[in-house]
Chains A and B, each alone.
Chain A
Amino acid sequence: KAGVTQTPRYLIKTRGQQVTLSCSPISGHRSVSWYQQTPGQGLQFLFEYFSETQRNKGNFPGRFSGRQFSNSRSEMNVSTLELGDSALYLCASSLVTGAQRTEAFFGQGTRLTVV
């Protein structure tokens, strides 16, 4: 089956601009999570969407927002970009059954550079 697809793979934006990143999860996966990863750093959790609703949220400013569509595809938007937003943005989809979470499947990521 097809894996998690993130587009675009690379992006260069100017400070103050906004950007939208896209994530198509594995078919049948209704949970999509977004993470920010800076060089040598761990995975900073942004938010999770499940069945079009934001279910969990990390500690990021309101400039970071997201949404999920009825086909489970998700988008992440960052407004008023800052230099510090330069990072690898990863999305992960998973199958959530009852109280158990199965493994997360990560996309290749979108590498965002803000200049």
Chain B
Amino acid sequence: GQQVMQIPQYQHVQEGEDFTTYCNSSTTLSNIQWYKQRPGGHPVFLIQLVKSGEVKKQKRLTFQFGEAKKNSSLHITATQTTDVGTYFCAGSAGNKLTFGGGTRVLVKP
């Protein structure tokens, strides 16, 4: 069945630094979604990418969808303490939405 892997599982970042989390699917996706879950909260939708090679930005967050529509990345610049949380990607194929294991981001002030 469809599998979605995320790396790294944990990311310790110094405040002000940049980092990237990666998402890889075992199958071609129709779209990929990204979610953020703050500590103690529930996942909240951030963005959806649909087109091959698509790049979208939200302030300091840059999302990319691979040319083959099997991988994606989230790059955060100038990390802030408000970026703390777990970031999940979710790949959509057919009628299934499969979540990756998430990248838990810890920020060192």
Chains A and B are bound partners: yes
Query: Which of B50, B88, B97 has the largest count of A CB atoms less than 10 A from its CB?
Result: B97
Smallest CB–CB gap between B102 and chain A, Å? Answer: 5
**Would you give the 0/1 interface string for B24-43, flagging 1 where the beta carbon is closer than 8 Å to chain A?**
00000011010100000011
What is the interface size of chain B, counting residues whose CB is below 8 A from a CB of the partner?
23
A90 to B44, CA, bound (A): 12
Q: Give the 10 A-B CB pairs with smallest separation, nearest first.
A: A103-B45, A42-B101, A106-B42, A101-B92, A43-B99, A42-B102, A106-B43, A101-B97, A109-B42, A108-B42
Chain B residues with a Cβ under 8 A of chain A: 30-31, 33, 35, 42-45, 48, 50, 88, 90, 92, 94-102, 104
Q: Provide a sorted-by-A list of 29 A–B residue pairs whose CB atoms are within 8 angstroms.
A: A33-B97, A40-B104, A41-B101, A42-B88, A42-B99, A42-B101, A42-B102, A43-B43, A43-B99, A43-B102, A48-B96, A50-B95, A55-B95, A56-B95, A56-B96, A90-B43, A94-B97, A99-B94, A99-B95, A101-B30, A101-B92, A103-B33, A103-B48, A104-B35, A104-B43, A104-B45, A106-B44, A107-B42, A108-B42
Query: Beyond A99-B30, A100-B30, is A43–B97 a contact (Cβ under 8 Å)?
Result: no
What is the interface size of chain A, counting residues whose CB is below 8 A from a CB of the partner?
26
Interface of A is mostly: strand
